[in-house]
Amino acid sequence: MPLDARIFVAGHRGLVGSAIVRALERQGYRNVLTRTRAELDLRSEPDVDDFFSSERPEYVYLAAAKVGGIWANNTYPVDFIQENLEIELNVIRAAHEHGVKKLLFLGSSCIYPRLAPQPIKEEYLLTGPLEPTNQPYAIAKIAGIELVNSYRRQYGAHFISAMPTNLYGPGDNFDLETSHVLAALLRKTHEAKVNGSPTVQVWGTGNPRREFLHVDDLAEASLFLLDHYDDAVPINVGIGEDISIRELAELIKNVVGYQGDLVFDPRKPDGMPRKLLDVNRIRALGWSARIPLRTGIEQTYEWFVQNMA
């Protein structure tokens, strides 16, 4: 992308979108287009059309989405499938109709079957049942991938999809009802330390294994892919290593400096037993994650203390 290209980052206030904006600014891009939800409701087809017609973006990062953890997905399944479908349909269609040169759609690793072989290769998509706790969200993301590929096949559009693993970092959502596991554990452990609580409750058995990618690494990968990838196959973005939820909770306890005990609640859902992405495809292109998990958690905790706590 030329440095003066008109680049629309949809969802720039979210964890991923804000990191992409930071990465673009670091690399010298000076014409980044952003809109808050109050300024542009991506669920509204007329509003999205008006924006693309007036602003004429040349490149689009579709990072806008309704996201949440197990509790939120279980409680609001209609919201998760409907809002994500609306955003994807409106933005991807408008990008095509208004001549966008290239679009990157950001999905999620939850698109893969619940019991997919590990590590998960891109070709495992649609080869088995999904994880029930986030199936509506996953189906919406799969629909986004198919929409991207349909525009490629029917119109020759240069639209691509990337599937990041579990994300964390500065700007994360720390609401205990809607956050993902790492952010939730960070907040709960910090509050237990501050309040002198003897225990921290952790959902599930602690046995499931997850891979965690710092959002700044994903942002760098997103810029890299727009320049170096143009294929119908959705490409995985991760670090290629995982950790158990129990190990994650212990690591967070150590970073926070909490001296109490972790109590695991097996009555709560575990979600997928393991979710580790095969990242050989993106590594072969020349990109690898660079932020170690402990370093990233330390940075995230520092941000949380300064901005949220």
Q: What is the pLDDT of residue 46?
A: 98
Does a structural domain hold residue 48? yes
Does a structural domain hold residue 195? no
- We report the CATH number of the domain holding residue 27 as 3.40.50.720
Q: What is the pLDDT of residue 306?
A: 96
Model pLDDT for residues 78-113, shown as the tens digit of each residue: 999 999 999 999 999 999 999 999 999 999 999 999
Q: Is 15 annotated as a binding residue?
A: yes
Weakly modelled stretches of the chain, pLDDT under 70: none
Reference 210, options 72, 76, 70; nearest CA is: 70
Q: Is 106 annotated as a binding residue?
A: yes
Q: How far is CA 93 from CA 22, 45, 100, 232, in A?
A: 26, 9, 10, 17
Does a structural domain hold residue 57? yes
Q: Is 296 annotated as a binding residue?
A: no
Does a structural domain hold residue 179? no
> Is 112 tagged catalytic?
no
Q: What is the pLDDT of residue 269?
A: 87
Q: What does the alpha-carbon distance between residue 123 and residue 187 come to, in Å, rounded to a whole number?
A: 36
Q: What is the pLDDT of residue 129?
A: 96
Does a structural domain hold residue 181? no
Domain that holds residue 75: 7-172+211-241+274-293
Does a structural domain hold residue 302? no
What HEC string does the chain produce? CCCCCCEEEECCCCHHHHHHHHHHHHCCCCCEECCCCCCCCCCCHHHHHHHHHHHCCCEEEECCCCCCCHHHHHHCHHHHHHHHHHHHHHHHHHHHHCCCCEEEEECCHHHCCCCCCCCECHHHCCCCCCCHHHHHHHHHHHHHHHHHHHHHHHHCCCEEEEEECEEECCCCCCCCCCCCHHHHHHHHHHHHHHHCCCEEEEECCCCCEECEEEHHHHHHHHHHHHHHCCCCCCEEECCCCCEEHHHHHHHHHHHHCCCCEEEEECCCCCCCCEECECCHHHHHHCCCCCCCHHHHHHHHHHHHHHHCC
Q: What is the pLDDT of residue 88?
A: 98
Q: Is 287 annotated as a binding residue?
A: no
Q: Is 12 annotated as a binding residue?
A: yes
Does a structural domain hold residue 301? no
Q: What is the pLDDT of residue 72?
A: 86
Q: What is the pLDDT of residue 231?
A: 97
Q: What does the alpha-carbon distance between residue 271 and residue 102 come to, in Å, rounded to a whole number?
A: 34
- What is the number of structural domains in the chain? 1
Catalytic residue among 112, 137, 151, 258: 137
Q: Contact 273/208 with Cβ under 8 angstroms?
A: yes
Q: What is the pLDDT of residue 180?
A: 86
Does a structural domain hold residue 146? yes
Q: What does the alpha-carbon distance between residue 275 and residue 306 come to, in Å, rounded to a whole number?
A: 31
Q: What is the pLDDT of residue 73?
A: 87
Q: Is 150 annotated as a binding residue?
A: no
How many CB atoms are located within 10 Å of the residue 50 CB? Answer: 13
